[in-house]
């Protein structure tokens, strides 16, 4: 009877042990598969990040689309692991694991949401970058605006068009809303300028420009720009969805691991219950058969209870997260097999968990590092875009790159105008001042910098001691690795950005991609600053030329004019004057308003006077063409100064209009006289009649008392003597 009870207890214990082991293995598999799903999803996220980086750097190409395909493959792998996880949960008899059905449905929904967001992002990027898409349309519309604005007399159109381009590029580099608002403000200013400009400011090559056409052009530009902004916002929105999905998937996998832990804990509790039942059975058998019970008790304690106790305690610690627990193995019976299986399970759990956690941590750290580098690159581009000139821009770029990335040395080179050399323009870090003071000029194709400037491709020196192209420099003895990145605008290389580190093999593929993206953005900023400087120089030269032309035109006009050029108003008379007061002469010479006190004014031809004087120059295009000289009985009222200056400004425009009108009338009169003389000449049919008609009409037109005309070759005219005034006038010989 006792033996039967022992056999029944053992069979029952073995059956329960098998079920507990199955539950433990299923819990381990659930945890492993959930971590694999998360790892595959993170791989898809990494492919998405590399796709967006390559797209912004190189556009939509085979490399960028291959990274999208890798993301899709990772998502497919994640779904395969999720299918295995669903099959395991569906087939298990563990109530805890069966409760994971809702979490798995949530996990599948999150993967579907991420894939939809990824496909939407790829679609938006393809729509934005297609050959006949909004980007090319925006460039074409801006170039049309630029071509029209450069031909208009009012250079404010040119300034507004270039400011639109600068703010447009700033938005695409930073994504900040303030640049979108600034583009809208500039478009409104352009529309206002078109509506308020006089007709003479809307003329190109003598032909009027349609106001509605200009308005339609700038509105089309703003519409296309807003379309690109919406596409960019859509990409940002999908990126936010991806981030939220990442957090939700992490939360679901954490919950799945918690449930698997509870399942393992429940298995341990069941195992402890089996242990308690066996203890009670042993005590009952011991009471019935004391001696046999004592012997069996000693045997059970040695061969059965203690191993089960140790196994139970070890399983409990494993359930609490301590995977280093081991159970001693004695003999070759089922308990020894259970102990070996338990030890094998903990070893595999420890290896799997360690591997997956390291993989997740490594990919998470890589994504965080890449994100920080991209953020630093965007901040550098944004801060550099505020520079006012090229030297300030380059100094700011190298200082920001050296400070944000912590490089040993950073230098910016620009290609010379003859494209024969690459010249050091700015540097930061070790020996920067000595290098700039000495000057560094590298021929195209020589060394790392010359090679990058010539080929237009990045060049990485992993170890300077093992690279034949690298040329050591005495001022930079600690350089161990170097990355030379081309500054490209389209297909043209305008310079090279060099970053150096005092540690070897620092520049990996991800770091180079971030630095090249930043370099391409900085190249556009540098090119824009150059264009703005060239435009400002052209405007200054145009203003100087316009001022010189204005001054010469007025000098010629005053020399030709016989009318008085100075008047004096003394109530109630208007008098002609030829002399100027001292304050008027000073205003003419300096081009500034002159105010004198009452004691220093001398009235022209009247001796001393106690009034004050206000002399305001009449300026046209920064050129002085006259002066308003006003005398007051007392001190000049403060409000009179601004009033007279405004009147002088309006008077300059009116005088210029009057001069242009008189010149136009004179040209019209000359053209009319020429047409009249030409018609008289055409009516004559004989040579003698033509000559006589010509000199008679010209004499009447110009008021000359004598006019001579002769026909003949150069030699005949030089040898033929003058036959007298009467003969020369009437004889056409």
Domains of the chain: 134-233 (1.20.1440), 387-535 (3.30.450.40), 567-658 (3.30.450.40), 684-730 (no CATH)
Most confident residue range from 158-162, 278-282, 523-527: 158-162
Average pLDDT, the chain: 78
Interatomic CA distance for residues 600 and 583, integer angstroms:
10
Bond from prior residue into 572 cis (ω within 30 degrees of 0): yes
Read off the tokens for 614.
């206000």
Residue 677 has pLDDT above 60, yes or no: yes
- Read off the pLDDT band of 705 (50, 70, 90): confident
CB 506 within 8 A of CB 474: no
Predicted confidence band at 723 (pLDDT cuts at 50, 70, 90)?
Answer: very low
Residue whose structure tokens are 């003394």: 570
Percent of the chain topping pLDDT 70: 78
- Residue 44 is encoded by which pair of tokens? 């898809």
Q: Is the pLDDT of residue 645 over 60?
A: yes
Tokens of 323: 């995977």
Query: Which pTM value belongs to this model?
Result: 0.37
Digit-coded pLDDT (tens) for 660-674: 888 788 788 888 888
Express each pLDDT in 111-148 by its tens digit: 888 888 888 888 888 777 777 778 788 888 888 888 88
Q: Report whether 267 contacts 322 (CB < 8 A).
A: no
| Cα distance from N-terminal residue to C-terminal residue, the chain | 165
Q: How far is CA 151 from CA 144, 148, 344, 548, in A?
A: 11, 5, 84, 20
What is the tens place of the pLDDT at every residue in 59-99?
A: 677 777 887 888 888 889 888 888 888 888 888 877 777 78
Q: Is the pLDDT of residue 300 over 60?
A: no
**Residue 210 DSSP code:** P
Whole-Å CA distances, 28 to 263, 308, 323, 465, 722? 10, 21, 12, 50, 127
Q: Which two tokens stand for residue 674?
A: 């020429």
Structural contact between residues 464 and 470, judged by C-beta atoms closer than 8 angstroms = yes
Integer Cα distance of 725 and 686 in angstroms: 23
Q: Residue 332 — very low, low, confident or very high, per pLDDT cuts 50/70/90?
A: low
Task: Judge whether residue 719 has pLDDT over 70.
Answer: yes
CA distance 716 to 388: 69
pLDDT value, residue 267: 64
Cβ count within 10 A of residue 479: 21
* Length of the chain, in residues: 733
What the block records as the tokens of 640 is 């009179």
Q: What is the pLDDT of residue 303?
A: 57
Give the list of residues 6+ apart from residue 707 with CB closer than 8 angstroms, or none. 695, 698, 699, 729
Average pLDDT over residues 462-482: 87
Q: Count the neighbouring beta carbons within 10 Å of the beta carbon of residue 422.
A: 27
CA distance 328 to 597: 113
What's the CA gap between 486 and 520, in Å, rounded?
8
Q: What would the pLDDT profile of 512-553 be if each residue is shown by its tens digit?
A: 877 888 888 788 888 777 777 777 777 777 767 777 777 777
What is the CB neighbour count within 10 angstroms for residue 444?
18
Phi, psi of 110 (to 5 degrees): -65, -40
Res 695: pLDDT: 82
pLDDT at 486 (0 to 100): 92
Identify which of 474, 470, 494, 496 has the alpha carbon closest to the alpha carbon of residue 482: 470
Structure tokens belonging to residue 133: 């898409």
């Amino acid at each position: 009877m006792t033996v039967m009870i022992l056999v029944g207890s053992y069979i029952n214990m073995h059956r329960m042990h098998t079920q507990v082991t199955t539950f433990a293995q299923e819990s381990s598999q659930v945890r492993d598969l959930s971590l694999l799903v998360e790892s595959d999803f993170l791989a898809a996220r990494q492919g998405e990040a590399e796709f967006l980086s390559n797209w912004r750097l190189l556009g939509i190409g085979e490399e960028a689309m291959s990274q999208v395909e890798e993301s899709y493959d990772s998502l497919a792998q994640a779904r395969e692991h999720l299918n295995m996880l669903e099959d395991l949960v569906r087939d298990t008899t563990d109530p805890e694991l069966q409760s994971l059905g809702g979490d798995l449905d949530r996990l599948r929904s999150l993967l579907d949401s991420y894939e939809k967001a990824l496909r939407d992002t790829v679609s938006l990027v393809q729509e934005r970058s297609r050959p006949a898409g909004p980007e090319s349309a925006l460039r074409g519309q801006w170039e049309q605006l630029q071509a029209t604005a450069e031909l208009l007399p009012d250079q404010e159109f040119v300034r507004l068009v270039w400011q639109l381009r600068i703010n447009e590029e700033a938005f695409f580099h930073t994504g900040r809303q303030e640049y979108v608002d600034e583009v809208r403000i500039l478009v409104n200013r352009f529309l206002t300028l078109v509506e308020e400009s006089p007709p003479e400011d809307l003329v190109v090559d003598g032909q009027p420009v349609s106001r509605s056409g200009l308005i339609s052009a700038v509105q089309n530009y703003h519409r296309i720009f807003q379309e690109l902004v919406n596409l960019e916002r859509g990409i940002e929105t999908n990126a936010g969805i991806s981030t939220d999905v990442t957090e939700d998937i992490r939360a679901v996998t954490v919950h799945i691991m918690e449930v698997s832990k509870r399942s393992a804990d429940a298995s341990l509790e069941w195992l402890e219950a089996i242990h308690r039942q066996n203890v009670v059975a042993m005590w009952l058998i011991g009471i019935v058969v004391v001696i046999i019970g004592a012997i069996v008790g000693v045997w059970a304690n040695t061969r059965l209870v203690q191993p089960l106790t140790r196994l139970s305690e070890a399983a409990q610690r494993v359930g609490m997260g301590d995977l280093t627990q081991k159970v001693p193995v004695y003999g070759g019976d089922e308990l020894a097999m259970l102990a070996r299986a338990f030890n094998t399970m903990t070893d595999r759990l420890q290896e799997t968990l360690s591997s997956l956690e390291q993989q997740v941590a490594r990919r998470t750290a890589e994504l965080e590092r890449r994100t920080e580098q991209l953020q630093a690159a965007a901040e550098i581009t944004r801060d550099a875009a505020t520079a006012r000139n090229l030297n300030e821009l380059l100094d700011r770029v190298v200082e920001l790159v050296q400070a944000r990335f912590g490089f040993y040395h950073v230098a910016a080179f620009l290609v010379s105008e003859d494209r024969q050399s690459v010249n050091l323009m700015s540097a930061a870090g070790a020996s920067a001042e000595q290098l700039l003071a000495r000057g560094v000029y590298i021929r195209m194709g020589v060394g790392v910098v010359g090679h990058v400037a010539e080929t237009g491709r990045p060049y990485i020196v992993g170890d300077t001691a093992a690279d034949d192209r690298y040329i050591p420099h005495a001022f930079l003895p600690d350089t161990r690795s170097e990355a030379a990145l081309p500054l490209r605008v389209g297909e043209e290389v305008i310079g090279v950005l060099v970053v150096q580190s005092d540690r070897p093999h620092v520049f990996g593929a991800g770091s180079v991609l971030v630095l090249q993206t930043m370099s391409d953005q900085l190249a556009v900023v540098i090119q824009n600053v150059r264009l703005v400087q060239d435009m400002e120089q052209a405007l200054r030269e145009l203003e100087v030329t316009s001022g010189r032309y204005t001054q010469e035109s007025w000098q010629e006009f005053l020399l030709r004019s016989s009318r008085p050029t100075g008047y004096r108003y003394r109530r109630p008379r208007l008098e002609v004057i030829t002399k100027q007061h001292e304050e008027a002469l000073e205003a003419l010479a300096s081009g500034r308003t002159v105010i004198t006190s009452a004691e220093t004014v001398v009235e022209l031809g009247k001796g001393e006077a106690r009034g004050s004087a206000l002399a305001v120059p009449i300026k046209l295009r920064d050129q002085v063409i006259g002066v308003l000289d006003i005398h007051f009985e007392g001190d000049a009222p403060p409000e009179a100064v601004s009033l007279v200056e405004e009147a002088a400004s309006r008077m300059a425009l009116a005088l210029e209009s009057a001069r242009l009108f008189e010149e136009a009338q004179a040209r019209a009169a000359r053209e009319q006289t020429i047409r009249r003389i030409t018609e008289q000449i055409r009516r004559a049919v004989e040579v003698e009649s033509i000559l006589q008609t010509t000199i008679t009409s010209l004499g009447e037109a110009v008021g000359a008392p004598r006019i001579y005309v002769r026909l003949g070759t150069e030699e005949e005219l030089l040898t033929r003597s003058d036959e007298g005034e009467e003969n020369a006038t009437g004889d056409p010989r």
